[in-house]
Structure 1
């Protein structure tokens, strides 16, 4: 009798748990999860940038000629150019929050391919994030062009396929299965 009760309870729990497992079979990632350990360590060790004008601007790590002379600037440039990926993420079903930077449109001006980036305005302002902090996304579900100002959750299969474009380069690509507006909780 007790055994039959346990089996019935277990079967009921599995029946209720199964839809949740199917609906949420994407592993949620943060942007730092895309960085290999050595790149994350380099990024965490970077010195602060001075955003002052004048001579300080010449010492910006984004100034390539200065980067050749200053080790801190060289470290910044190395991090900003990194296309190193985590091979174990290849072909994984993931969910990543971010902002959309359109790359391709259909005839109705809906976004059909885009870069997913960690912060608003990335790729449009110089410099773009490093390639390993940009995901090139192709989507079945078109997105209205006026919706790109909001953050989204993008769920799909992540690959370590690089993509080169005039706006930026990405070290990761994704075929989106689901695009949902990000809700702040």
Structure 2
């Protein structure tokens, strides 16, 4: 890892901590993927249905009408996941999909829209490996977004990205 990337990672983590403590008396709400599914909604398990044989049906996004949790709209949250880059360069990305498992939207059919978050981060953030889980902190909204890879049920303006640690 270059010295620049190390310094930028440290800056992002420090900025996240400062923003969390100084601008909010309450830290961001830690949420997980099941929190993005309304209580009582029976979710389709796309991972169980996936195969890697390349059939056209395998790449169709299921359950496009999957409902979102409206109470999350406008909340400051932290959500772990994996990155599917959309915009950026070799140093930083400024726009990406946050997905619940590695390979979602790339190697298997996309999850339902309520299991995808379209993330933008001003100034961008370095992502060293798409295989590594991260935690994104920011303001989540229940706005939809559509791109070539999938239809998305949530958007987030990120203020910080950090490595996911158990």
TM normalised by structure 2 equals 0.71
Q: Does 1:168 align with 2:144?
A: no
Contact 1:160 1:173 (8 Å CA) reproduced: yes
Q: Which runs of 4+ in 1 moved over 4 A?
A: 19-24, 48-51, 61-64
Q: CA deviation at 1:37?
A: 1.9
Q: Greater relative contact order (Cα 8 A, min sep 6): structure 1 or 2?
A: 2
1:167 deviation in Å? 1.1
TM-score (norm 1): 0.65
**Shift in CA distance, 117/110, structure 1 to aligned 2, threshold 3 Å:** same
Higher helix share: 1
1:177 to 143, 159, 162: 159
Structure 1 unaligned regions, length at least 5: 1-18, 65-75
Partner of residue 133 from structure 2, selected from 151, 168, 173: 151
Alignment: residue pair count: 142
CA distance in 1, matches of 2:107, 2:44: 22
* RMSD (Å) for aligned C-alpha atoms: 3.2
Is the 8 Å Cα contact of residues 81 and 135 (structure 2) preserved in structure 1? yes
Within-5 A mapping of 1:102-181? 102-106=85-89, 109-181=91-163
| 1:43 is the counterpart of 2:25 | no
Query: Which ranges of structure 2 fall in alignment gaps of 5 or more residues?
Result: 1-20
